[in-house]
Copies of this chain bind each other. A is one copy, B any other.
C-alpha cells in the first residue's frame, strides 16, 4: 500500500528512476514495438477507482518502458541529442510542485524575474552583447514563429489590426532561408499566412552555406515584382549537417535592405561559449532575433527554447493584448505580451539549477568533450576506405556515408546499413540527404554519453558493413 504520503511516494519514484538508469544501457535505444503495441497494453476506459503509486510504477515498467525511445541512452546519436541531467530533473520536480504560471509579473514575480535573469546568463554565457533581451518559450518552432510575427509587423503596416487577407496595399510576404534551413521556418511561414510559395530556399555553396549573392538577387527580384521581403533566417548549425551560413555577409545585406535578420542557432548556440568556436558565430550579434535551445545541447530537460531579441517593443507589437480580467498594476512587465501562449510554466528553474549545480565551467567542458568526440569519429571515418565524411563538422555532428562494394547503389546500401545498425539496438543513428545523397548522421551531444559509446557506435557501423558485404 501507498498512503504513507508524499515523501514515501517521492522516494518510490526516485528509486524507480535510479533503477531505470541502471537498466537503460542494456535496453535497445529504439524500442522493438510496432504501432499499436503500447496502446494494446492500456485499458480503453479510464479507471474509476484509484490505485497506489506502486501499481502505476509497475505498469510504467511493463507497458510504457518497452515502448520508449531512450533519449537519455548513451547510444542515442540520432537527430540532435536531447538529454537531461540531475539538476534539470530535480528542478522539473520542484517546478511541478510550485506550478508557477508566469503569464503576468503579478502571477509569478520570481518566475518572471528568474526567467529574465536566466536568459541574461545564457546571453553572457554565449558572449552576446547586452543589447539582447529575451524570454523562454517551449520550442524553436515557437521562438522562430514569434520572431517572424515581429518581422511581419515591422514590414507590413497595421497587420495586427488589418491582417494580410484581402488588402490591395499589401503584396505577398516573403521569407528567405537557405536550402538547408529547418522545416520549422517553412511551417512558421505557412502559419503566418505567407504561404510556401513565398519561402525562398536560397542555394548553398559546396559547404552547404547560403550564398549571399543569391540571397541579394532573390530579394531584389521580389522587391521589383512588388513582393514584401519580411525576414531572412540564417542558420548557425543546420539540422541536416550543422553547416553555418555566412551570417556577417547576410547581416550586411539585411541592414542595407532593411530586412529583419533571424538567426537559428537552436542547436549550436551554446558552443558560442567556447572561445575556439566563436568564429562560427561571427555576425550573429547583428541579428534582430536569435533562437537557441537549451533543451538540445545544454542538456536541459525538454522543453526550453530561448528567443533573444534587440527590440522588446517590436516583439510585443504583434500580439500584446490585455483584457480586463488580466489587468494588473505592473502591465509593462508581463511576459505573456510576447508570443502566442498565455500560460507560461516555470522553465527558468531548470536553467538556474543547471548553472548552479554544473557551473559555466562544467557546461563548457561538456560541450568541448562532445566536439572532441565528434572530431575523433570523423578522423576514424576519414581514415577508413569503407566510409567517407560528407560535410564539414564544426560542432558535434558527423555526416557521412558508407562507400558500398562495387556495383551496389550507394543510397540503397546506406539505407540498409542504417537499418541494420539501428536494429542492433545498442545505438540509434538517423539520416539526412546531402546533395541528394542518402547520408548517415551521428550526433554526439548527450550529457549521458561517453567516449565508449562513440567507439561502440563506430564498431557497430564497421561490423554491420562487413556483414552486409559478406552476404
Query: Is A178's beta carbon under 8 Å from chain B?
Result: no
Residues of B within 8 A of A139 (CB): 341-343
Query: Is A262's beta carbon under 8 Å from chain B?
Result: no
Are A324 and B432 in contact, with the CB atoms below 8 A?
yes
For A168-179 the 0/1 string (1 means CB < 8 A from B) is 001111000000
Which residue of chain B has the shortest Cβ distance to A144 in the bound complex? Answer: B340
Contact for A163 among B60, B120, B162, B173, CB less than 8 A: B173
CB distance from A118 to the nearest CB of B (A): 9
Stretch at the interface among A31-39, A278-286, A383-391, A461-469: A31-39
Query: Is A276's beta carbon under 8 Å from chain B?
Result: no
Query: Is A408's beta carbon under 8 Å from chain B?
Result: no
CB distance from A100 to the nearest CB of B (A): 6
Residues facing B in A91-142 (CB within 8 A) are 91-101, 105-111, 113-114, 116-117, 120-122, 124-125, 138-142
Known A-B contacts A46-B121, A164-B164; A35 and B173 likewise in contact (beta carbons under 8 Å): no
Are B138 and A301 in contact, with the CB atoms below 8 A?
no
Query: Is A403's beta carbon under 8 Å from chain B?
Result: no
Known A-B contacts A38-B113, A187-B340, A322-B183; A164 and B165 likewise in contact (beta carbons under 8 Å): yes
Are B184 and A64 in contact, with the CB atoms below 8 A?
no
Residues facing B in A35-82 (CB within 8 A) are 35-39, 42, 44-53, 55-56, 59-60, 63-69, 71-72, 78-79, 82
Shortest 9 CB-CB contacts between residues of A and residues of B: A163-B195, A193-B193, A67-B110, A10-B14, A92-B96, A164-B193, A166-B172, A93-B93, A46-B121
